[in-house]
């Protein structure tokens, strides 16, 4: 397993939940971090709690739905750290409504955040990785991409699209020492999942959730794989043990 010490890791959706947990775990590994989300103050709060010198952390308030903003963020990381080794697309949004109540604007927001933002990332990062001689992208998806969920039709569809987009692009670049992996957690203890209606999950499933740290540990595993090893798709689920 490779060391993560001093690697430059970019994490989107880093202001809370899974993203903040991923940042903590990479900090413990000694990586240098760029934290991305839309809320500057929340990002600064996460950064201040990390066990790293603040000079090893870059805070970048960015709306990943905006192609120009993504380009500026990538350039800023390179200017600050000189390179990018790992980019984690964790930012995501879900709106819990029956499809007949979901507005077109809400549908577009979900797809722009969960799919189009990753498209922007691919377009900006792949040329950088080709120039560097390699790199890794880890996209956080969801178990809902495979089985769907009542009230979360657009969210589930967006994550299914993310999976296919990632797998397709991975095939385009795998011979260039560029790894693209997708991690699909089951239901996780985050604000997004807590906002799901009781109608969209059974009481037994509601009791069986991953913690954000368990998801972060899986991301660390993918990041530490040796250079010739590549995990394309990975699912992570809780054991059938109530906490």
- Token readout for 183 is 């991690």
Examine the residue annotation and report whether 155 is marked as an active-site residue of this protein: yes
Considering only CA atoms, which of 188, 206, 108 is closest in space to residue 154?
Answer: 108
Helix axis angle for 17-28 and 40-48, nearest 10°, is 30
**Residue 114: enclosing H or E segment and its boundaries?**
none
Q: Are 216 and 22 in contact (CB under 8 A)?
A: yes
Kindly report the length of the chain.
243
Tell me the β-bridge partners of 89: 139
- The active-site residue out of 87, 111, 129, 155 is 155
Helix axes 212-224, 17-28, angle to 10 degrees: 50
Backbone angles phi, psi at 48, to 5 degrees: -70, -20
Catalytic annotation, residues: 155
């Amino acid at each position: 397993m490779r060391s993560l010490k001093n690697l430059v890791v970019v994490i989107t959706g880093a202001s809370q939940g899974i993203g903040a947990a991923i940042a903590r775990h990479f900090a413990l590994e000694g990586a240098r971090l760029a934290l991305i989300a839309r809320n500057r103050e929340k990002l600064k709060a996460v950064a201040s709690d990390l066990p790293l010198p603040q000079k090893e952390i870059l805070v970048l308030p960015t709306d990943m739905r905006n192609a120009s903003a993504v380009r500026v963020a990538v350039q800023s990381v390179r200017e600050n750290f000189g390179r990018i080794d790992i980019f984690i697309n964790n930012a995501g949004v879900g709106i819990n409504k029956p499809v007949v109540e979901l507005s077109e604007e809400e549908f577009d927001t979900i797809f722009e955040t969960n799919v189009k933002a990753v498209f922007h990332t691919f377009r900006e990062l792949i040329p950088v990785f080709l120039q560097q001689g390699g790199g890794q992208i880890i996209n956080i998806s969801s178990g809902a991409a495979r089985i769907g969920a009542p009230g979360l039709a657009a969210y589930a569809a967006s994550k299914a699209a993310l999976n296919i987009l990632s797998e397709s692009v991975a095939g385009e670049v795998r011979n260039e020492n560029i790894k693209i992996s997708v991690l699909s957690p089951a239901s996780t203890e985050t604000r997004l999942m807590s906002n799901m209606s009781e109608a969209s999950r059974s009481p037994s499933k509601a009791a069986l959730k991953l913690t954000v740290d368990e998801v972060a540990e899986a991301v660390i595993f993918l990041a530490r794989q040796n250079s010739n090893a590549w995990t394309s798709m990975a699912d992570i689920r809780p054991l059938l043990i109530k906490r």
